[in-house]
Structure 1
Amino acid sequence: MKHLFKELYGAGIIFFYYIKWLIFIGLPILYYGLDYKQNIIMDVLWVYCFALITKDFIMRVVLKKRYCDIDTKKR
């Protein structure tokens, strides 16, 4: 059972790593440009993708800048 959860977690990470931008950009296009019906599951996935994109931005830009500032002060 533990092995199954690890596989599901890994598959989820890989899936959302590659699909998050497609969902984040594509869902509003479907809703407002192509008159796609509202779907609560897709809305939840969109919010989750937005959270992942925000986390990636914070990890890459904000924290990297903080660590670069700390490294330059040590030298």
Structure 2
Amino acid sequence: MDKNEWMRELRHLYGAGILFFYYAKWPILLGLPAMYYGLDYPHNVVLDILWVWSLVLVLKDLYVWFILKESYCESGRCKTEKKERKNDGGDNTEDESS
């Protein structure tokens, strides 16, 4: 295999990982403790690693949502963008007369 084939395969694995954790992080984060303590499921190191990784991803999402969004809106950018989008010359302008 040459370098381009390896890079293509790494991109496929990266994309699969993004899709997997996008949909599976909350079920893993909430379901694994329920399986361990509620259903007496035997502990598994691989699932523990997936749980820790899911926890890190959820904490990152919460940080981005609450901290960065708040600082973005405090700078005044989110309010001005709404005003600019409102009158962007599209189909639904307010000054249109019938």
Q: Same fold (TM over 0.5)?
A: yes
Residue of structure 1 in register with 2:70 after alignment:
65
* Structure of larger gyration radius: 2
Long gaps (5+) in structure 1: none
Q: Higher helix fraction: Structure 1 or Structure 2?
A: 1
- 1:47 to 2:52 alignment: yes
Following TM superposition, by how much is the alpha carbon of 1:23 offset from its aligned partner in structure 2, in angstroms? 0.3
TM-score, normalised with respect to structure 1: 0.92
TM-score, normalised with respect to structure 2: 0.71
Residue of structure 2 in register with 1:20 after alignment:
25
What RMSD in Å do the two structures reach over aligned CA positions? 1.2
Following TM superposition, by how much is the alpha carbon of 1:60 offset from its aligned partner in structure 2, in angstroms? 1.1
Structure with the bigger RCO (C-alpha within 8 Å, sep 6+) is 1
Matched residue SS, 2:28: helix
Long gaps (5+) in structure 2: 1-5, 81-98
Q: Write the distance in 1 (CA, Å) between the matches of 2:76 and 2:60.
A: 23
2:7 pairs, out of 2, 11, 18, with 2
Aligned length: 73
